[in-house]
């Protein structure tokens, strides 16, 4: 990085004490119009500030209007979006873009005058037209040169999109476009995480400059969003620039706090969202109407117990119900334990699930007979019982509609 | 039959059934072949190419009927429910692979097989049953004539629970070349595979998965790779919000806005009734529940219930985008309850809704132009959107009465009987075109013309970029660069079709996730996603070789005159025709095919096809 100006400003974003950053993107209005969460931008920014964000990304127009929210020693850094594109535009007022357009909107000097500690610009890789690609590169280079002159950090957001992008080359191009950005003069990167820790380690290493991962569309679950952060950090990324996942959360400040717990607090996604329950627990069908009959819970159960992918060895099953489908799980009613004449069944003292002592079992099947919901299967002469997977039930983990929930007893 | 050892992902064997002899045999998979082609479409292409006599009549005992899965079918990969029917199409004469969801695919693997290879012809209607008692043929005289739904319900009573089933309806029994093969409420719809099954006197195949499970080479990596793919689906706008809420009709209004929704037999690209047929309207007025295929976290399927009117009380799973189009804009109809009724008819009789609707629209245009009289079509007056005419014609095609037998042969053959109509008989290689207007979506035009089974929207899907704006979008009215776009899509889809998993998952994850899952499941060492993509290219070349051997060349990579010469009259694509020749030249060049559209020797060698086939094809 060239010069103290850039170093000082970047240190307001990437905390020098742990070399990590939690930045929130609130520049969507530029490209998408007034989406939920950015309508009352002042309120969102106040909430996000309170949550502990290190930096907030806004458009130049908004920076001019709400810049006062960044005044003061304990306020987040301001990042300004300096360019515009049609690639992510709202589809409710116009067709999806057919042709990626990109324009320089505000200069680094102008951004700095607004109070920016950094600017963020796009870098697209994947144009079919070589001329357009060349023009795009030269725009990015112009920003880089001016940023150098005035000591303003340049954060580049490289994204593979365009006619040349395929399912096969996308991930590779993430790495390539990041390195190209560094070569042109970026000081830090905002980029997608490619969902593969090993591969992203190489991406981080070859970048040579800090990478903050973007969040994309609003994730349905907090757990998924934080897991992506956790993996990216494991690969060496330095933090996040989440937008919709934060500004569209019911409580943006709380969302920021959760992200900070992972990024600065070094907690895992699971620790933040689902600490392993202590003590006895059981499975509950908490949202039966949402079951789509996909059977994912059964195959996950089967595989988790070493039986490969199949339906014969699952400890739960999905059956048709009056208005759709419904998983049937062990309710720990313990009628099987009562029915066993050979005292082969007991209740686990830690979790409360039923446990089989195979040495005492003769495969008579009385337990299966006694089960009021018919969930006890016989497999090669021995009954199978739900063991709650040691405290983190696989069925609950994998269910795409959150139909199952484990609860403390 | 003992299970072959050391197969991971795959079960390692196929069940061969000879219906003429009434005999069965287990056949181990050829490792050399599956390493180069995987399963599903790829394996099917190899079996057909290497074993089917060129020029065989598709409805003769000499045609083969394959039901195949892939190494990811039945696992926890997203959408791991798919199987495919592979055969020679009686509708087009080309290679045919038709994929289907539901639960039959996993049953095949849980029974210990990767698929079944059916040859010959039974003397009497029969069904193939595979369960703990082994494979056997059972008489199906009682089932013959039953609708697909009634037949499956009866089979449940006869056999008990736990059987994955595929059946044909009356249309397939009567050799309608638009008959499909049905499983649950889903279908391997296109190309007439139902007629092939009917020609073999085979009513149903029922397979019970008994105590077999699929082993994978690296369980920990498989779990991680599948978890990642599922997570990407959960975090993608289309697969977590759009499709689960609006089903596949989520794209209808967008396609209409782009002027690419074929209206009244492809005369125009925008339909005035499109809003009434949008996903949100279906959800409000017709859908009561979501449903998902086995192993799917998207749940794009919807259950419809008609709440009022003439068809009150009718219910079906669906309809999906293509069916809504086929009985909607294609025929000038915007009444959703009529569409539900027609889908039910098609499902019960067992015919392809896309071809059926396209044919009805074609007849409507002929009527509009005075080229066909009511006497020739059972007394109906098929003006645009006429419910009576639509019901009459679909009933006819389903029941294969005299009128239906004529209509079911498809628009190409119909147009041969009505001079002057071939210009607007909307097919490619004889397969009726689906719901994207070629003149308004030039990449789709090229995909239709070069697909290996005729006019199909799932053998190359550049609409993803051109009309839906994904991956940064592409200009639908531009021809430059479309050849590469179509080729990339065709190759990637071929990979997905050989895994065999549902294509919709790939809206959320990429080919890299597929490559990780394939490696983890099989233990094969594909080096990268690009390596796997080459496998897709190999498959597409193999099906091309099959078609070339059957006589298909450049002259057949074409579209109707309406697309090539008639300028689009209105909408965003106004004035446009499809400049197919230039796109085709670029396409052949990139594919490494000669000017006649045949794979050249260097390309065949590069793909390793000559070595695998043991000959210079």
The matching CATH number, chosen from 3.20.20.70, 3.40.1180.10, 3.40.1190.20, 3.40.50.460, for A4-273 is 3.20.20.70
Among all chains, which residue has been given the structure tokens 């089989």?
A356
Burial status of residue B417 (CB atoms within 10 A of its CB: 0-12, 13-18, 19 or more): exposed
Mutate to test the interface with B, among A31, A86, A167 (most CBs of B within 10 A): A167
End-to-end alpha carbon distance in chain B: 35
> B478: Cβ–Cβ under 8 A, 6 or more apart, which residues?
B442
DSSP state of B63: S
Within 10 angstroms of residue B263's Cβ, the number of other Cβ atoms is: 26
Closest partner residue to B492 among A87, A168, A293, by Cβ? Answer: A168
3-state secondary structure of A339: helix
Nearest CA in chain B to A224: B231
Q: Is the pLDDT of residue B551 over 50?
A: yes
Q: Is the pLDDT of residue B1 over 50?
A: no
Mutate to test the interface with A, among B101, B184, B235 (most CBs of A within 10 A): B235
Confidence band, pLDDT 50/70/90 cuts, at residue A92: low
Within 10 angstroms of residue A87's Cβ, the number of other Cβ atoms is: 21
Confidence band, pLDDT 50/70/90 cuts, at residue B615: low
Q: Cα dist. B190→A72, B84, B210, B427 in Å?
A: 67, 11, 31, 13
Partner-chain contact A98 B480, CB within 8 Å:
no
Under 8 Å between Cβ of B394 and B401: no
Tell me the nearest-neighbour CA distance from A216 into chain B, angstroms.
8
With contacts defined as CB-CB under 8 Å, which chain A residues touch B476? Answer: 98
What is the sign, positive or negative, of the torsion defined by CA atoms of A204, A206, A208, A213?
A: negative
pLDDT of residue B450: 98
Under 8 Å between Cβ of A80 and A58: yes
Question: Rounded distance, CA B71 to CA B221, Å?
Answer: 15
pLDDT tens profile B458-507: 999 999 999 998 888 899 999 999 999 999 999 999 999 999 999 999 99
Nearest CA in chain B to A195: B228
Q: Which two tokens stand for residue A208?
A: 């040579």
Question: Rounded distance, CA B389 to CA B287, Å?
Answer: 26
Residues 248-287 of B with CB under 8 A from A: 254, 257-258
pLDDT of residue A97: 77
Query: What are the residue boundaries of the structural domains of chain A, listed by start?
Result: 4-273, 281-408
Nearest CA in chain A to B8: A308
Question: Rounded distance, CA A296 to CA A305, Å?
Answer: 14
Where is average pLDDT lowest: A80-94, A221-235, A257-271? Answer: A80-94
Among all chains, which residue has been given the structure tokens 């725009």?
A139
Question: Rounded distance, CA A309 to CA B216, Å?
Answer: 8
> A205: Cβ–Cβ under 8 A, 6 or more apart, which residues?
A236
Q: What is the mean pLDDT of chain A?
A: 92
Within 10 angstroms of residue A277's Cβ, the number of other Cβ atoms is: 15
**CA B368 from centroid of its chain's CA atoms:** 31
With contacts defined as CB-CB under 8 Å, which chain B residues touch A172? Answer: 528-530
Partner-chain contact B209 A311, CB within 8 Å:
yes
Q: In what order do the strands lie in the sheet with B202-208?
A: B134-139, B126-131, B202-208, B163-167, B181-183, B186-188
pLDDT of residue B616: 54
Q: Is the pLDDT of residue A138 over 70?
A: yes
Closest partner residue to A309 among B75, B236, B296, by Cβ? Answer: B75
Residues 46-65 of B with CB under 8 A from A: none
Question: Rounded distance, CA A313 to CA B31, Å?
Answer: 29
Q: Name which residue leads in pLDDT, B380 or B341.
A: B341
B153 and A CB contact within 8 Å: no
Question: Rounded distance, CA A338 to CA B538, Å?
Answer: 61
Nearest CA in chain B to A291: B291
Mutate to test the interface with A, among B212, B293, B471, B527 (most CBs of A within 10 A): B471
Closest partner residue to B110 among A124, A162, A310, by Cβ? Answer: A310
With contacts defined as CB-CB under 8 Å, which chain A residues touch B241? Answer: 217
Question: Rounded distance, CA B257 to CA B270, Å?
Answer: 7
End-to-end alpha carbon distance in chain A: 56
Question: Rounded distance, CA B443 to CA B446, Å?
Answer: 5
Under 8 Å between Cβ of B176 and B355: no
DSSP state of B206: E
Partner-chain contact B472 A165, CB within 8 Å:
yes
Among residues B301, B300, B276, B305, the alpha carbon closest in space to that of B288 is found at B305
With contacts defined as CB-CB under 8 Å, which chain A residues touch B103? Answer: 295
Measure the CA dihedral A141/B474/B297/A325, to 10°. 150
pLDDT tens profile B246-290: 889 999 999 999 999 999 999 999 999 999 999 999 999 999 988
pLDDT tens profile A8-45: 999 999 999 999 999 999 998 877 777 888 888 999 99
Nearest CA in chain A to B481: A128
Partner-chain contact B214 A95, CB within 8 Å:
no
B185 and A CB contact within 8 Å: no
Tell me the nearest-neighbour CA distance from A303 into chain B, angstroms.
8
pLDDT of residue A101: 85
Question: Rounded distance, CA B347 to CA B397, Å?
Answer: 12
> B282: Cβ–Cβ under 8 A, 6 or more apart, which residues?
B246, B247, B249, B302, B304, B324, B336
Tell me the nearest-neighbour CA distance from B414 into chain A, angstroms.
37
Partner-chain contact A161 B472, CB within 8 Å:
yes
Q: Is the pLDDT of residue A108 over 50?
A: yes
The matching CATH number, chosen from 3.40.190.10, 3.40.50.1820, 3.30.70.20, 2.60.40.10, for A281-408 is 3.30.70.20
pLDDT of residue B460: 96
With contacts defined as CB-CB under 8 Å, which chain A residues touch B463? Answer: none
Tell me the nearest-neighbour CA distance from A380 into chain B, angstroms.
9
Measure the CA dihedral A379/A385/A389/A391, to 10°. 180
> A72: Cβ–Cβ under 8 A, 6 or more apart, which residues?
none
Q: Is the pLDDT of residue B298 over 50?
A: yes
pLDDT of residue A214: 94
pLDDT tens profile B174-218: 999 999 999 998 999 999 999 999 999 999 999 998 767 999 999
Partner-chain contact A310 B214, CB within 8 Å:
yes
Closest partner residue to A220 among B212, B234, B511, by Cβ? Answer: B234
Q: Do domains A4-273 and A281-408 have the same CATH topology?
A: no
Partner-chain contact A299 B474, CB within 8 Å:
no
Measure the CA dihedral B95/B182/B249/B452, to 10°. 0
Confidence band, pLDDT 50/70/90 cuts, at residue B291: confident
Partner-chain contact B294 A195, CB within 8 Å:
no
Tell me the nearest-neighbour CA distance from B289 into chain A, angstroms.
8
The helix, strand and coil proportions of chain B, stated in percent and rounded to the nearest 5, come to 45, 15, 40
Q: What is the CA radius of gyration of chain A?
A: 26
B16 and A CB contact within 8 Å: no
β-pairing, B23-28 vs A324-328, is unpaired
DSSP string, A106-163: S-HHHHHHHT-SEEEEEEEE--S-HHHHHHHHHHHHHHHHHHHHHT--EEEEEEE-ST
Nearest CA in chain B to A171: B512
Burial status of residue A150 (CB atoms within 10 A of its CB: 0-12, 13-18, 19 or more): middle
Question: Rounded distance, CA B562 to CA B415, Å?
Answer: 14
pLDDT of residue A129: 84
DSSP string, A238-274: -EEEE-HHHHTSSSHHHHHHHHHHHHTS---HHHHH-
The region that residue B218 occupies, defined by phi over 0 for left and psi between -120 and 50 for alpha, beta otherwise, is beta
Helix (H) or strand (E) holding B222: helix B219-234
Question: Rounded distance, CA B245 to CA B290, Å?
Answer: 8
Partner-chain contact B509 A398, CB within 8 Å:
no
Residues 461-520 of B with CB under 8 A from A: 465-476, 480-481, 484-485, 488-489, 492, 506, 509-514, 516
Tell me the nearest-neighbour CA distance from B453 into chain A, angstroms.
23
The mean pLDDT of B125-154, rounded to a whole number, is 96
Closest partner residue to A294 among B258, B296, B471, by Cβ? Answer: B296
Confidence band, pLDDT 50/70/90 cuts, at residue B426: very high
pLDDT of residue B141: 96
Partner-chain contact B231 A162, CB within 8 Å:
no
Partner-chain contact A128 B211, CB within 8 Å:
no
Partner-chain contact A292 B291, CB within 8 Å:
yes
Nearest CA in chain A to B79: A294
pTM of the model: 0.95
Residues 524-553 of B with CB under 8 A from A: 528-530, 532-533
Closest partner residue to A311 among B110, B465, B506, by Cβ? Answer: B110
Tell me the nearest-neighbour CA distance from B78 into chain A, angstroms.
9
pLDDT tens profile A355-395: 999 999 999 999 999 999 999 999 889 999 999 999 999 99
Size of interface A-B (CB pairs under 8 A): 184
Among all chains, which residue has been given the structure tokens 């040859």?
B119
């Amino acid at each position: 990085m060239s010069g103290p100006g850039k170093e000082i400003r970047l240190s307001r974003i990437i905390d020098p004490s742990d070399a990590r950053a939690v930045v929130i993107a609130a520049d969507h209005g530029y490209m998408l119009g007034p989406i939920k969460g950015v309508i009352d931008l002042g309120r969102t920014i106040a909430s996000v500030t309170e949550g502990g964000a290190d930096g907030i990304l806004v458009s130049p127009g908004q920076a001019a209007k709400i810049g006062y929210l960044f005044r003061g020693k304990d306020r987040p850094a301001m990042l300004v979006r300096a360019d515009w594109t049609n690639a992510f535009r709202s589809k409710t007022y116009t067709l999806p873009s057919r042709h990626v357009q990109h324009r320089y909107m505000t200069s680094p000097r102008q951004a700095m005058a607004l109070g920016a500690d950094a600017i963020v610009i796009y870098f697209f890789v994947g144009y079919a037209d070589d001329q357009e690609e060349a023009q795009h590169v030269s725009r990015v280079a112009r920003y880089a040169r001016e940023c150098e002159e005035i000591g303003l950090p340049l954060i580049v957001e490289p994204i593979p999109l365009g006619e040349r992008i395929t399912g096969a080359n996308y991930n590779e191009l993430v790495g390539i476009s990041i390195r190209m950005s560094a070569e042109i003069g970026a000081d830090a990167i905002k980029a997608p995480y490619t969902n593969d820790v090993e591969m992203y380690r190489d991406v981080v290493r070859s970048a040579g400059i800090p990478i903050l991962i973007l969040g994309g569309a609003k994730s349905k679950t907090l757990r998924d969003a934080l897991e992506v952060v956790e993996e990216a950090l494991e690969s060496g990324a330095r933090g996040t620039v989440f937008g919709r996942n934060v500004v569209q959360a019911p409580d943006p400040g709380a969302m920021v706090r959760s992200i900070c717990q992972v990024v600065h607090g070094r907690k895992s996604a699971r620790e933040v969202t689902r600490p392993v329950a202590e003590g006895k627990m059981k499975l509950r069908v908490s949202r039966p109407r949402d079951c789509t009959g996909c059977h994912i819970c059964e195959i996950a159960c089967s595989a988790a117990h070493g039986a490969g992918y199949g339906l014969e060895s699952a400890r739960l099953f999905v059956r048709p119900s009056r208005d759709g489908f419904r998983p049937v799980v062990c309710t720990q009613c313990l009628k099987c334990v009562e029915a066993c004449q050979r005292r082969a069944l007991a209740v686990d003292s830690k979790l409360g699930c039923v446990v089989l002592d195979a040495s005492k079992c003769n495969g008579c099947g009385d337990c299966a007979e006694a089960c009021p919901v018919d969930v006890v299967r016989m497999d090669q002469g021995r009954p199978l019982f739900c063991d709650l997977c040691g405290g983190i039930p696989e069925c609950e983990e994998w269910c795409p509609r959150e139909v199952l929930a484990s609860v403390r007893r | 039959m003992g299970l072959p050892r050391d197969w991971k992902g795959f079960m390692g064997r196929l069940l061969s059934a000879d219906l003429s002899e009434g005999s069965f045999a287990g056949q181990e998979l050829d490792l050399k072949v599956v390493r180069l082609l995987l399963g599903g479409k790829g394996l099917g292409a190899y079996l057909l190419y290497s074993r089917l006599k060129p020029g065989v009549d598709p409805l003769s005992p000499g045609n083969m009927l394959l039901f195949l899965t892939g190494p990811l079918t039945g696992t926890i990969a997203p959408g791991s429910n798919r199987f495919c029917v592979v055969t020679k199409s009686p509708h087009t004469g080309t290679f045919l692979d038709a994929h289907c969801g539901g639960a039959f695919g996993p049953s095949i693997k849980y029974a210990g097989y990767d698929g079944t290879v059916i040859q010959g012809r039974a003397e009497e209607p029969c069904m193939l049953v595979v369960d703990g008692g082994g494979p056997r043929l059972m008489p199906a005289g009682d089932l013959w004539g039953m609708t697909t739904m009634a037949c499956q319900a009866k089979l449940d009573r006869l056999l008990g629970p736990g059987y994955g089933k595929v059946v044909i309806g009356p249309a397939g029994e009567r050799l309608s070349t638009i008959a499909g093969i049905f499983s649950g409420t889903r279908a391997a719809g296109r190309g007439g595979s139902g007629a092939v099954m009917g020609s073999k006197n085979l009513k149903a195949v029922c397979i019970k998965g008994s105590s077999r499970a699929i082993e994978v080479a690296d369980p920990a990596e498989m779990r991680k790779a599948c978890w990642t793919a599922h997570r990407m689906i959960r975090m993608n706008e289309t697969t977590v919000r759009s499709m689960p809420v609006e089903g596949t009709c989520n794209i209808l209004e967008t396609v209409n806005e782009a002027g690419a929704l074929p209206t009244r037999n492809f005369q125009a690209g925008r339909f005035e009734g499109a809003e009434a047929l949008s996903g949100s309207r279906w959800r409000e007025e017709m859908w009561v529940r979501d449903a998902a295929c086995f192993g799917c976290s998207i749940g794009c399927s919807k259950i419809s219930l008609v709440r009022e009117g003439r068809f009150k009380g009718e219910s079906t799973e669906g309809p999906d985008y293509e069916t809504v189009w086929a009985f909607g804009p294609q025929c000038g109809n915007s009444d959703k309850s009529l569409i539900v009724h027609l889908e039910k008819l098609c499902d019960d009789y067992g015919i392809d809704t896309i071809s059926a609707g396209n044919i009805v629209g074609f007849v409507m245009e002929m009527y509009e132009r005075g080229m066909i009289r009511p006497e020739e079509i059972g007394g109906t007056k098929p003006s645009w959107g006429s419910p009576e005419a639509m019901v009459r014609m679909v009933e006819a095609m389903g029941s294969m009465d005299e009128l239906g037998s004529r209509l079911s042969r498809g628009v190409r053959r119909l147009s041969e009987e009505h001079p002057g109509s071939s210009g607007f008989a909307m097919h490619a290689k004889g397969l009726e075109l689906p719901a994207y207007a070629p003149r308004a979506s030039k990449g789709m035009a090229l995909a239709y013309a070069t697909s290996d089974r005729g006019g199909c929207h799932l053998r190359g899907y550049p609409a993803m970029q051109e009309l839906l704006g994904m991956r940064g979008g592409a200009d639908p009215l531009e021809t430059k660069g479309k050849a590469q776009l179509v080729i990339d899509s065709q190759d990637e889809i071929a990979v997905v079709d050989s895994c065999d998993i549902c294509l919709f998952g790939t809206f959320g994850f990429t080919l890299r996730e597929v490559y990780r899952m394939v490696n983890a499941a099989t233990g094969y060492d594909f080096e990268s996603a690009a390596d796997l993509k080459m496998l897709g290219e190999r498959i597409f070349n193999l099906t091309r070789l099959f078609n070339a051997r059957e006589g298909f060349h450049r002259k057949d990579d074409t579209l109707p005159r309406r697309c090539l010469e008639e300028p689009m009259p209105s909408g965003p694509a106004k004035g446009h025709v499809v400049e197919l020749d230039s796109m085709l030249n670029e396409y052949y060049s990139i594919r490494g095919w000669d000017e006649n559209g045949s794979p050249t020797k260097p390309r065949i060698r590069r793909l390793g096809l000559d070595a695998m086939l043991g000959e210079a094809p």
